[in-house]
Structure 1
Amino acid sequence: MSQVRTGNAYGVGIMTVIVGVTAGAVFYQGFYLPESLEVPSVDEHILHPTADRIIDILVGSALPDQEENFVPKLVDIQLGVDNLVTWTNTDETPHTVTPDHSYADGYSGKFGSDGVLKAGETYEFLFTEPAVIEYHCQPHPWMQGTLSITKQRF
């Protein structure tokens, strides 16, 4: 008889674990996961700015004594006006656009070029939130720039 009672207790324990795991999986897939992957709603005028902002990476930027590399270095960006920013590498040397501190825009995701921009290549990013971002070129850390993203001024 004692074996039957032990078997029943074991079965109840297994069923409790199965119910707990199932409830956890339902919560994760039904509530937590969709909320964590949800992209915030953004006004159409921010998603479709009236102008583009272009930052040139000048020829010779790989040289440490050249002061002009990201041009312009300090960029004031207004959401809904010129918040689509494009970096163009006009240099013969590959460069990166790398944030000094990790930054992720709620709509556009992680900021920073994937790998290097070879000669003639571009990197584009749509900013949708106010922020101040300092960035540099990974292989050439003397190349530095700053973006100041603000709401549109009326």
Structure 2
Amino acid sequence: MIALIIGMSASVVFYTSFYLPESLAKPSVSEHILHPEKDFVIEIAPGAVIEGNQNYVPNKASVQLEIDNKVIWQNNDDTAHTVTPDVPYSDAYSGEFGSPGVIKPGETYEFLFTQTQEIPYHCQPHPWMTGKITIELNKF
């Protein structure tokens, strides 16, 4: 019985000391990607709540890792909106993509992309509001 308790204790110590921290660690990412040269701003345009009006500007955005991969959605409308991926997306470094609720008028949502990807997104309460962001490797 004592050997069983010692064996289980050793297993728990090994798991929590070596395996668990490694599995929870964020991947190694270049400092140039973590601190891009500039931010990329996508405006939620005034009147976006009205179907047929411009909504996310630019509607089809393309950003480059190391240059402008920190993206900020700025709500300039007088209605709350969301940034919700059409298909769930998780960046290995930054986690789940999508605003954690509504973005109130005058507020922002930002996300640091660290991997190449193409993500279509929409506004949950206003499904006609759609956009797409493409994250590419630095071309230079």
After TM superposition, the score normalised by the length of structure 2 is 0.92
RMSD over equivalenced CA pairs, Å: 1.5
CA shift, 1:48, in A, is 1.4
Q: Distance in 2 between matches of 1:28 and 1:141?
A: 45
Between the aligned partners of 2:9 and 2:45, the Cα distance in structure 1 is 57
How many Å separate the matches in 2 of 1:131 and 1:28? 33
Which residue pairs with 1:113 in the alignment? Answer: 99
Q: How many residues align?
A: 140
Structure 1 stretch 85-94 or stretch 40-49: which is displaced more? Answer: 40-49
Q: Which residue number in structure 2 is paired with residue 8 of structure 1? A: none
Q: Which residue of 2 aligns with 1:5?
A: none
Q: Which of 101, 104, 107 is equivalent to 2:87? A: 101
TM superposition score normalised by structure 1: 0.84
- Find the structure with the greater CA-based Rg: 1
Higher share of residues assigned helix: 1
Where does the alignment leave 5 or more consecutive residues of structure 1 unmatched? 1-11
- Corresponding residue for residue 9 of structure 1: none
SS at match of 1:134: strand
Which of the residues 7, 18, 36 maps onto 1:31? 18
Match among 16, 19, 33 for residue 46 of structure 1: 33
Percent identity of the aligned residues?
A: 56
Report the alpha carbon displacement of residue 50 of structure 1 after superposing the two structures with TM.
1.2
Q: Corresponding residue for 1:60?
A: 47
Residue 20 (structure 1) shift = 4.6
Q: Which ranges of structure 2 fall in alignment gaps of 5 or more residues?
A: none
Runs of 4 or more above 4 Å deviation: none
The residue type paired with residue 57 of structure 1 is I
